[in-house]
Chains A and B, each alone.
Chain A
Amino acid sequence: GAVVSQHPSWVICKSGTSVKIECRSLDFQATTMFWYRQFPKQSLMLMATSNEGSKATYEQGVEKDKFLINHASLTLSTLTVTSAHPEDSSFYICSASPLPGQSAYEQYFGPGTRLTVT
């Protein structure tokens, strides 16, 4: 149980285009979803936290107009990288929790999406 999928697993796009990444909880309802970014050989950095039906909370330094997050249902959150540039190339990982707010320490991670912007 507690499986989280991401789609696509990898994507290559041209500079200036937008890319949408999906994160789905397959066998549970995800009250809270998280988006992380990981550069090669580095740690995961939290980008934003989203709760179903409300606006995402972005971490300091993360541009909300560039990284659009939508958590429209209890099983799906999407991250759209708008007007992508080469520096946005990274590994994006989502996680999902069946618990809300401060109880969301139980997180299940997706397999990640490798984004390359040319």
Chain B
Amino acid sequence: SQQGEEDPQALSIQEGENATMNCSYKTSINNLQWYRQNSGRGLVHLILIRSNEREKHSGRLRVTLDTSKKSSSLLITASRAADTASYFCATDASGGSNYKLTFGKGTLLTVNP
């Protein structure tokens, strides 16, 4: 099963509004990362938060991490039409000698102009 599970699966908002997406995971992690993917394109790294961090900011992005609840949230403030994309959380998973990312199912965000 997916390590990361985002909700909601889809979110539609108006430009200027804030968008909040959540991610839950099952096992202990070292890091949690959020990525954006425009339709049919590769992934763009947004932010990494370590397991000993609770909150991190980057521009209009705010990420929180609650390791006791095994959950994270991504807040995009003052959304723009260009923020329309799918957003994925990814958690690390120890796997032998190699580092592996496990992605959630993603949230499709639509920002209407």
Interface residues on A, range: 20 to 34
Q: Are B101 and A43 in contact (CB under 8 A)?
A: no
> Which chain B residues in 39-71 approach chain A with CB under 8 Å?
40-45, 48
B65-113 residues with Cβ-Cβ distance < 8 A to A are: 88, 92, 94, 96-106, 108
Closest to B98 in A: A49
Q: What is the minimal beta-carbon distance from A19 to any residue of chain B, in angstroms?
A: 18
Point out the residues of chain A lying under 8 angstroms from B100, CB to CB: 34, 46, 49
Interface of B is mostly: strand
Interface string of A74-90 (1 = CB under 8 A from B): 00000000000000000
Write the nearest CB–CB distance from B73 to chain A, whole angstroms.
Answer: 18
Q: Is the C-beta of B20 less than 8 angstroms from some C-beta in chain A?
A: no
A109 touches B43 (CB 8 A): yes
Question: CB < 8 Å: which of B33, B41, B94, B104 contacts A43?
Answer: B104
Set B30, B88, B97: member contacting A44, Cβ < 8 A = B88
Q: Is the CB of B99 within 8 A of A93?
A: no
B103 and A105 form a contact (CB under 8 A): no
Chain B residue nearest to A59 (CB atoms) is B100
Chain B residue numbers with a CB within 8 Å of A103 are: 99
- Residues A46 and B30 in contact, CB atoms below 8 Å apart: no
Please give me the 8 A-B residue pairs with the lowest Cβ-Cβ distance, nearest first: A104-B99, A111-B42, A109-B43, A43-B103, A109-B42, A49-B98, A44-B103, A112-B42
Given contacts A6-B42, A108-B45, A111-B42, 17 further A-B contacts (CB under 8 A): A4-B42, A34-B100, A34-B101, A43-B88, A44-B43, A45-B103, A46-B102, A49-B98, A49-B100, A57-B96, A91-B40, A93-B43, A101-B97, A105-B31, A105-B92, A109-B44, A112-B41
